[in-house]
Amino acid sequence: MGDRFPDGQLYINLRGFDPTGSAVTPDDAVRTFLDALGVPPMRIPAGLDAQVALYRSLLARRRVLVLLDNARDTEQVRPLLPGSPGCLVIVTSRNRLTGLVAGEGAHPLTLDQLTSAEARDLLALRLGTDRLAAEPRAADEIVSRCGRLPLALAIVAAHARARPDFPLSAIADEVSDSHGSLDAFAGGDDITTDVRAVFSWSYKALSAPAARVFRLLGLHAGPDVSAPAAAALAGLAPRAARALLTELTRAHLLTEHRPGRYTLHDLLRVYAAERVRAEETPEERDLALRRLLSWYLHTADAAYPHITPNRRRIRLEPWDGECPPLEFPTQERAVEWCETERSNLVVAVHQAHQAGQTGIAWRLPAVLWGFFYLRSHTHDWLDTSRTGLAAARAAGDREGEAQSLSDTAAALRSSGRPDEAIELLHEALELNEELGDGEARSSVISNLGDAYLHAGRLDKSVEYTRRGLALDRVAGSVWGEGIALSNLGDAYQRMGRYDEALGCLERALVVLRAGGNRWVEGVTLDILGTIHRRLGHYAESVEHYRQALATHRDIGNRWGEGHTLGHLGDAHLDADEPEAARTSWRQALAIFAEFGHPDAEKIRERLAGLRAGAAGARGRGAAPRRTA
Q: DSSP letters of 361-376?
A: HHHHHHHTHHHHHHHT
Residue 180 has pLDDT above 50, yes or no: no
Contacts of 327 (CB under 8 A, 6+ apart): 302
The model's confidence at residue 275, banded by pLDDT at 50, 70 and 90, is very high
Q: What is the pLDDT of residues 62-94, one digit of tens each?
A: 999 999 998 888 999 999 999 888 899 999 887
Q: Comparing 244 with 318, which gets the higher pLDDT? A: 244
Would you list the DSSP string of 115-145? Answer: PHHHHHHHHHHHH-HHHHHH-HHHHHHHHHH
Burial of 498 (0-12, 13-18, 19+ CB in 10 A): middle
> Taking a C-beta distance cutoff of 8 angstroms, is the pair 522, 551 a contact?
yes
Question: What pLDDT was estimated at residue 198?
Answer: 54
Q: What is the pLDDT of residues 3-24, one digit of tens each?
A: 789 999 999 999 886 655 678 9
Q: What is the pLDDT of residues 310-326, one digit of tens each?
A: 778 899 988 888 899 99
Strand partners, 12: 68
Residue 191 has pLDDT above 90, yes or no: no
CA-based nearest residue to 581, from 557, 614, 551, 556 = 614
The beta strand positions in 63-201, using DSSP E, are 65-71, 88-93
Q: What are phi and psi of 261, to 5 degrees?
A: -130, 135
Amino acid of residue 207: S
Q: What share of the chain is helix, strand, coil (3-state, %, to 5)?
A: 70, 5, 25
- This model's pTM is above 0.85: no
CA-based nearest residue to 246, from 233, 230, 235, 232 = 230
Q: What is the spatial distance between Cα 270 and Cα 181, in angstroms, rounded to a whole number? A: 12
Per-residue buried b or exposed e for 222-236, using 16+ beta carbons within 10 Å of the residue's own CB: bbbbbbbbbbbbbbb
Indicate the average pLDDT of the chain: 88
The model's confidence at residue 112, banded by pLDDT at 50, 70 and 90, is low
Give the three-class secondary structure for 11.
strand
Q: What proportion of the chain, given as a percentage, has pLDDT over 70? A: 92
> Taking a C-beta distance cutoff of 8 angstroms, is the pair 110, 94 a contact?
no
Q: How many residues does the chain have?
A: 628
Residue 354 has pLDDT above 80, yes or no: yes
